[in-house]
């Protein structure tokens, strides 16, 4: 019902709105009026665009008709003063040095060298020193004659080109001395005399094709032959020690971006013989003692440098093939890392390395010349050497280095008294496994070219497998070097070293000997040796010098039963011409 009413109401409203908006019917109205229309006019102008930006007028200037004369006035100035100095010192091809020391100790040296050249260099050098003074120990006991003489001669040359460099050298050494470690000055020198003669040479080639994306390489070849005289006048007076030693090393490296890839390939050959003179060069008879040893080395690696060369990482391997009575193969780690902090103020570093050392009669006598001619040789194997430390600069004039290392060596060679020698005045070798811990600190100071000072302190700790101690090895070491230039006229040089803690193995219970682990040993005492040299430069070509050796005049033992000479004074003059 309600819906019907609502529908009716909506229909009513719809009809009402339709009637309200309906248009009324048309209405017509008649009327009269007057309407005028204005005459039309025509525009005669063409249409155009009116631009709101108006261009600026271009100004024009007439050419100048008259030239104004230019006036120049010169003001006098003071003449310039130029100080001329010699940029390169004049070189003299010849150099000679002669001198004489206390105890009849002549000294001589002669050098001839080519002057400046871009493409080549060559020269000859000969030097000689000898001494004839007697030697006593700290108790004043005179020892056997300790005279010696040593002469070295060499010829060398170098060729330098834009893409390579070749260098070579031929050398000869003649060294005569006595096994004077006998507290008896009446012994005939023919019973203790010895003489080494060594001849050798080396040849090297280095390419230089650039630093980037080019393979460079270097080749080094070396050889020497060493022969001794008879150790004494006895039944084997015709026997000699002869040793041939040759080495070859080839290195190649390739730089790519921040990496350097490198590899070393080498060979070391050593032939040692102690026997009759005819069998030294080619030992073909079963007489005496002979040893043939060859080591093939291969060492590949890569060096990475980042952060403007502040970070360096060198990592690789070292491999060695030891060919002798038994053939063995070794692999050693090779790694080192460095990082520069605060513009090289501090450079921490750490690494690990190892290697195989080929012992030879020549290398061992460079350490102890009183070694017996007949020895048993074995190579030293270093499985690892772990090291680390920090170095840097404290100022522009001062720097430092603090480091520590721990390494292991098998077949470490120790010098001990040779009981087979009749006078016990020669040394033999024993081998043992050694663990060596070292802590070292050094510092240097340099004031332009006037003053230079550097010093080093080192602590060593040794642990052996079979021996009681590491024979003849020092526990504490100190070194000092200094050079001072006074007005470019006086040159002063000071150098010295101190060693303590050395012990020598002996086989008799003598006075001062101690026993431990069924071995007798004796303390060798401290080494305190400082040397002072003073030179006076008369002019650029003539210089006088005075050398004071062993300033503290200590008759310390360099080896067991081998005291050294006390203070020595030597003077002379040198020439350049």
CA distance readout (Å), 331 to 259, 314, 326: 24, 17, 17
Residue 544 — pLDDT band, cuts 50, 70, 90? very high
**Sign of the CA dihedral with 39 first, then 45, 47, and 49 last:** negative
With tokens 């309600």, the residue in question is: 2
149 to 116, 226, 352, 435, 513: CA distances (angstroms):
34, 17, 42, 38, 34
Rounded to the nearest angstrom, the gap between the alpha carbon of residue 103 and the centroid of all alpha carbons in its chain is 38
Output the pLDDT for position 122. Answer: 95
Please report the pLDDT score of residue 22 as a whole number.
Answer: 47
> pLDDT confidence of 44, banded at 50, 70, 90?
low
The average confidence (pLDDT) of the chain is 86
Q: Please report the pLDDT score of residue 118 as a whole number.
A: 84
Q: What is the pLDDT of residue 505?
A: 94
Sign of CA dihedral 108, 112, 125, 485: positive
Instruction: Give the percent of the chain with pLDDT over 90.
Output: 65
Please report the pLDDT score of residue 213 as a whole number: 73
pLDDT tens per residue, range 519-542:
999 999 999 999 999 999 999 899
Token pair, residue 334, equals: 């090779």
Taking alpha carbons only, the member of 401, 392, 482, 398 closest to residue 439 is 401
Q: What is the CA radius of gyration of the chain?
A: 46
Contact (CB, 8 A) for 516 and 426? no
Residue-wise DSSP of 293-333: EEEEEEEEEEEEEETTTTEEEEEEEEEEEEESSS-EEEEEE
Sign of CA dihedral 549, 553, 558, 559: positive
Q: What is the mean pLDDT of residues 19-37?
A: 50
As a whole number, mean pLDDT of residues 166-184 equals 95
Using alpha carbons, select from 381, 322, 319, 318 the residue that is nearest to residue 353.
Answer: 318
Entry pTM = 0.80
Name the β-bridge partners of 430.
Answer: 414
Q: What is the mean pLDDT of residues 318-345?
A: 93
CA distances to 42, 53, 54, 437 from 50, rounded to whole Å, are 21, 9, 10, 99
Return the higher-pLDDT residue of 19 and 289. 289
Confidence of residue 279 (pLDDT cuts 50, 70, 90): low
pLDDT at site 11 = 59
Look at residue 209 and tell me whether its pLDDT is greater than 60: yes
Q: Specify the pLDDT at position 29.
A: 47
pLDDT digits (tens, 9 = 90+) for 183-200: 998 998 888 999 999 999
First to last CA, the chain: 147
Q: Are 574 and 97 in contact (CB under 8 A)?
A: yes
What's the rounded Cα separation, in Å, for the pair 87 and 292?
Answer: 54
Taking 80 as the threshold, does the pLDDT of residue 266 lie above it? yes
> Which parts of 201-346 fold into alpha helices (H)?
none
Return the ∠ at Cα 113 (arms to 112 and 119), rounded to 5°. 155
pLDDT value of position 63? 47
Residue 71 has what pLDDT? Answer: 65
The continuous run of DSSP H or E covering 518 comes out as: none
The model's pLDDT over 247-261, given as tens digits with 9 standing for 90+, comes to 999 999 998 888 999
Can you tell me the mean pLDDT for 356-383?
95
pLDDT, tens digit, 9 for 90 and up, residues 419-475? 888 889 999 999 999 999 999 999 999 988 899 999 999 999 999 999 999 999 999
Q: What's the distance, CA 511 to chain centroid? A: 45
pLDDT confidence of residue 511: 83
Give 21's pLDDT tier (boundaries 50, 70, 90).
Answer: very low
Asked whether 356 and 380 are in contact (CB, 8 A), the reply is: yes
Closest Cα partner for 223 from 96, 129, 362, 349?
362
pLDDT value at position 479?
96
Determine the pLDDT at residue 230. Answer: 62
Percentages (nearest 5) of helix, strand, coil residues in the chain: 5, 55, 40
Least confident of 4-18, 243-257, 375-389: 4-18
Q: Residue 119: left if φ>0, alpha if ψ -120 to 50, beta else—which one?
A: alpha
| 396 pLDDT above the threshold of 60 | yes
C-alpha angle 228/226/123, rounded to 5°?
125
The helix/strand/coil state of 161 is coil
Q: In this structure, what token pair is assigned to residue 421?
A: 């020698």
pLDDT in tens, 220-249: 999 999 999 865 545 455 678 999 999 999
pLDDT of residue 445: 94
User: Residue 35 above 80 pLDDT?
Assistant: no
Predicted local distance difference test score (pLDDT) of residue 66: 47
pLDDT score recorded for residue 70: 58
Percent of the chain with pLDDT over 70: 82
Residue 556 CA, distance from chain mean position: 32
Indicate if the pLDDT at residue 62 is higher than 80.
Answer: no
Nearest CA-CA partner of 114 in 126, 105, 130, 125: 125
Residue 330: count other Cβ atoms within 10 Å of its Cβ. 18
Exposed e or buried b for every residue in 9-39, given b needs 16+ CB within 10 A? eeeeeeeeeeeeeeeeeeeeeeeeeeeeeee
Cα–Cα separations (whole angstroms), residue 421 to 189, 323, 370: 16, 31, 12
Q: How far lies 104's CA from each of 121, 126, 173, 185, 471, in Å?
A: 36, 20, 22, 18, 34
- Contact at 8 Å (CB) between 361 and 310? no
Q: How far is the C-alpha of 21 from the C-alpha of 34, rounded, in Å?
A: 36
User: Which parts of 6-147 are beta strand (E)?
Assistant: 94-101, 105-113, 120-131
CB 421 within 8 A of CB 176: no
Confidence of residue 286 (pLDDT cuts 50, 70, 90): low
Tell me the pLDDT tens digit for each residue of 111-122: 999 988 888 999
**Sequence-distant (≥ 6) Cβ neighbours of residue 568 within 8 angstroms:** 101, 102, 103, 105, 547, 548, 549, 550
């Amino acid at each position: 019902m309600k819906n019907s009413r609502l529908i009716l109401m909506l229909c009513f409203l719809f009809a009402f709105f339709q009637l309200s908006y309906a248009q009324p019917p048309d209405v017509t109205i008649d009327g009269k009026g007057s309407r005028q229309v204005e005459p039309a006019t025509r525009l005669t102008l063409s249409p155009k665009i009116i631009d709101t930006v108006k261009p600026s007028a271009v100004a024009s200037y007439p050419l100048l008709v008259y030239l104004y004369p230019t006036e120049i006035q010169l003001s006098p100035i003071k003449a310039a003063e130029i100080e001329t100095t010699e940029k390169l010192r004049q070189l003299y091809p010849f150099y000679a040095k002669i001198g004489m020391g206390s105890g009849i100790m002549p000294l001589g040296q002669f050098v001839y060298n080519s002057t400046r050249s871009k493409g080549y260099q060559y020269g000859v050098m000969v030097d000689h020193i000898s001494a004839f003074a007697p030697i006593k120990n700290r108790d004043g006991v005179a020892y056997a004659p300790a005279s010696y003489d040593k002469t070295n001669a060499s010829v060398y040359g170098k060729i330098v080109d834009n893409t390579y460099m070749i260098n070579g050298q031929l050398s000869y050494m003649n060294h005569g001395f006595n096994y004077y470690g006998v507290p008896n000055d009446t012994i005939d020198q023919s019973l203790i005399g010895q003489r080494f003669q060594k001849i050798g040479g080396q040849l090297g080639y280095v390419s230089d094709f650039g630093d980037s994306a080019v393979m460079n390489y270097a080749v080094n070849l070396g050889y020497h032959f060493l022969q001794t005289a008879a150790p004494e006048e006895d039944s084997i007076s015709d026997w000699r020690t002869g040793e041939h030693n040759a080495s070859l090393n080839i290195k190649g490296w390739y730089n790519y971006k921040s990496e350097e890839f490198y590899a070393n390939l080498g060979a070391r050959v050593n032939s040692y013989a102690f026997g009759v003179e005819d069998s030294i060069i080619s030992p073909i008879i079963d007489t005496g003692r002979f040893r043939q040893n060859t080591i093939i080395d291969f060492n590949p690696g890569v060096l990475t440098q980042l952060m403007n060369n502040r970070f360096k990482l060198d990592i690789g391997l070292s491999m060695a093939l030891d060919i002798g009575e038994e053939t063995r193969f070794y692999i050693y780690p090779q790694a080192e890392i460095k990082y520069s902090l605060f513009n090289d103020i501090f450079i921490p570093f750490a690494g690990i390395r190892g290697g195989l050392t080929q012992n030879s009669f020549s290398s061992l006598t460079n350490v102890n010349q009183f070694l017996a001619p007949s020895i048993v040789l074995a190579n030293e194997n270093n499985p690892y050497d772990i090291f680390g430390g920090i170095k840097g600069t404290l100022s522009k004039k001062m720097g430092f280095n603090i480091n520590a290392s721990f390494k292991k060596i098998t077949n470490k060679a120790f010098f001990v008294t040779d009981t087979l020698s009749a006078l016990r005045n020669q040394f033999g070798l024993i081998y043992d496994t050694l663990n060596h811990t070292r802590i070292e600190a050094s510092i240097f100071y340099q004031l332009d070219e006037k003053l230079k000072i550097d010093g080093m302190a080192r602590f060593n700790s040794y642990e052996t497998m079979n021996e009681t101690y590491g024979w003849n090895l020092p526990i504490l070491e100190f070194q000092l070097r200094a050079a001072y230039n006074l007005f470019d006229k006086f040159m002063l040089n000071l150098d010295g070293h101190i060693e303590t803690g050395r012990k020598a193995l002996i086989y008799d219970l003598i006075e001062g000997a101690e026993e431990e682990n069924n071995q007798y040993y004796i303390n060798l005492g401290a080494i305190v040796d400082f040397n002072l040299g003073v030179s006076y430069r008369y002019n650029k070509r003539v210089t006088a010098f005075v050398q004071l050796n062993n300033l503290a005049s200590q008759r310390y033992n360099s080896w067991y039963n081998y005291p050294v000479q006390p203070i020595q004074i030597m003077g002379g003059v040198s020439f350049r011409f």
